[in-house]
Structure 1
Amino acid sequence: MDSALVIGGTRFIGRHLVEELLAHEYDVTIFNRGNHENPFADDDRVDHVEGDRTNESALEAAAMTVDPDAVFDCVAYQPRDVRAATTIFADCDAYVYISSGAAYGREDIPKREDETPLEPCTADQATDDSQETYGNRKAEGDRAVFAAAEEGVNAMAVRPPIVYGPHDYTERLDFWIDRVNEYDRVIVPGDGTNVWHRVYVEDVASALRIVAERGESGEAYNVGDRRIVTLEEMVELIADALETSVDIVHAGPRELEAADLSLDDYVLYRDYPHVLSTAKLAALGWESTPLEEAMERSVADHLESDRDGSEHGPDRDAEERVLGILDTL
C-alpha cells in the first residue's frame, strides 16, 4: 500500500497516525472539516480535503479525489458513519476503524477480542452523542465492520483503552502530571492499586498501520501498553520523568467524603480493573513503547503546553482539607 486517507488527522490520534504513515513513506491525505489547526498545513507531503465525514456526498467526493489504498477512520462516532465509510471505500485495500475498549460489555480480565461480548446498542443509542452511550456506539461500529467484511470489504477494527501522550487535548493525564509537578504530596484515591489499562498514542498509530498492512478482514485488535501499571505506579512514573519525588497519600471514600469528594472525582480511577489482552496484535509484529520512554515524552509535551487537566479532578483546596484530616489520624 502506498497511499492513505486519514479521516480526521489533525488533533491527537490522527495527528500521530499521519506522522507514522509519513515515516513509512505513505502518500497521505487528511479529510476533515478544517475546524482545528492543521499541523501539516506547511508539509507538502500531506494533502488536505475539506469536508464533513457525516455528509456521505462529501465522503464520496473525497474517495474519488484521493482513491486511497488504505483508509483510517479516526472520527466515526456513530454506527451509520462506519456503515457509510465501509460502503464508500469498499474497494480499498484496507479500511481500519478506531473502536474502543469501551465496546466490551462484560468485565472479563483480560478482555479478549474473540471471547468477551460487546455492548448492545439500541436504535436510540446508535444516534446519541453522549458519553453514556459511547461504548454502545463503538460496539455497533464494530458490528458494522464485521458485516462489511462478510460482503468482501477488507475492514478491521482497533480497540484502544484510555489513550495518552503528546497533543492529548482531553487533558486526562495532564491532571496527574500537574499534580506531581506542582505539589510535594499527591493524593491517590483508594489504595492506589486500581488498574485502568492505558495506551501510548504513538503505539495506537503504529497499531493502525500494522493492522491495515497485516490484519485479517473482519477482525478486531486490542491495543494497549504491554506492561500495565496501577494508578500509583503511574504517578511514580510521572515523578521519575520529572526527576522529582512525591509523597503519595492514599485517601479512601470516608476521608474524601469529608471534603465532599469521591473516588470517581479523580480521572483515570476505575473501581474494577479494565485490562485488554494485546496478544492478537502482538502476533502481527506490533510492539509497544517502554513505559518510561512513553511517560518522558508525555511529560515533556505537558511542560511545553498550557494544559493542567484541572477539570478532571478536585480543586487543590478540597484536597488540602483531605490531607488535613489524614494528618490528624
Structure 2
Amino acid sequence: MTTNELEIVQSTSKKDKPSQDQVPFGTIFTDHMFTMEYEAGKGWFEPKIVPYAPLTLDPAAMIFHYGQTVFEGLKAYRTEEGRVLLFRPEKNFERLNLSSERLSIPPIDENVVLEYLTKLIELEKDWVPSTAGTSLYIRPFIISTEANLAVAPSKTYKFMIIMSPVGSYFTGGLKPVTIHVEDQFTRAVKGGTGMAKTAGNYSSGYQAQANAKKLGNADVLWLDGVEKKYIEEVGSMNIFFKINGEVVTPALNGSILKGITRMSIIELLGTWGIEVNEKKISIDEIYQAFQDGLIEEVFGTGTAAVISPVGELNWQGKKMIINNHEIGELSQKLYDTITGIQTGKVEDTMGWTVEVK
C-alpha cells in the first residue's frame, strides 16, 4: 500500500439531521464519505474525505458485470458522557482483507485505514445519535472499477466508507423471533464465498427469505449446501444454542462468516467460565434435543441486533417453540453486557472499544 497524506474537503452545505427516535436503517447518510483508489503497480492512493455524493462509473466497470466487491459493517456509539466509541473496528478491517483475498482484491493497510475512519468520524461526530439503542452505522466497501468485460480480476478499485445514523434494531423491545429452517435453497458451500462478506451472498438469499416471511417467519436458518443437514447461520447472523446447560455453535467451516459479535460472545462466555462447543450440528440433533426438552435458548448474533433471541424454529412442518417464546437468561445477560460495553455503561475489561477523540 502506498502512503499518501489524507486530503479533507469539507462540505459547504450541511444536511438536516433526522429525529433520533425515527431513524430508518440505511437511508440517511452523513455529510462526508471516505474514498481511496487502487491501481495495479501503484497500490492504494489518494485517500480523501469528501462531501457525500453519487459516483460516476463506466458502464463497463467490472463491478456491474462480475460482482467483485466486499464490504463490512460496524457502528459508532455515543456514551452517556458524550464520548464516541467503536467496537473492535480492527477486527472488521481484518475480516475485510480476508474477504478481499477470497475475491482477488488487493489488501488494505488495516491500521492506516482505521486512522482514516477515525478522522471521518471526528468530522461527523454530530451525526452519532445519543438516544438509547441508536448508533452510527459504518459501511466500508471496495468495488472493482476497471472498464473491461474480460473475466479476470480488475486492475483498479475504489475503497469507500459511508456512514448512516440508525435507530434501535428492536423497535418493540428485545423479543424472540420466528425462524424458518431452509432446506431447498443453498446459501454457500465450503470452498465458495460463504466465508467472505461479499454482495452476491446476500442477494442470493432473498428468495428463500421472502418465502419464509410469507409463512410468518422473520428470517431463514441455512443448512449446509451438500447434505442439507448441518446448521450454518441465520441470514446475516451467526447462531447459538443452549442445550442441557451446554452452549454450542456451528464451527467455522469455510462457508460460515467469521462473525465479530460471534467471536466476542465466545470470548465473553469464556471469562464467565462457560465454554462454547464449536462443532458440526445437524438439524436432526436440534429437533431431537427439542423433543427431549433439552433446548433452553437459541439466539443469533450480529452487528445489527447484537443478540437476537429465537422463540421458534420451523422445519419441514415441525414447529419448535423455544423457551415459551421468551428471551432466555443467558441471552439477556449477553445482550446487556455487550451493549453496555459498546455504550460505555459496562466497564470494558476486554479492551474491545476504541474511543474517537
Question: Could you tell me the TM-score, scaled by structure 2's length?
Answer: 0.23
Query: Relative to total residues, which structure has the larger strand share, 1 or 2?
Result: 2
Query: Relative to total residues, which structure has the larger helix share, 1 or 2?
Result: 1
Question: Could you tell me the TM-score, scaled by structure 1's length?
Answer: 0.25
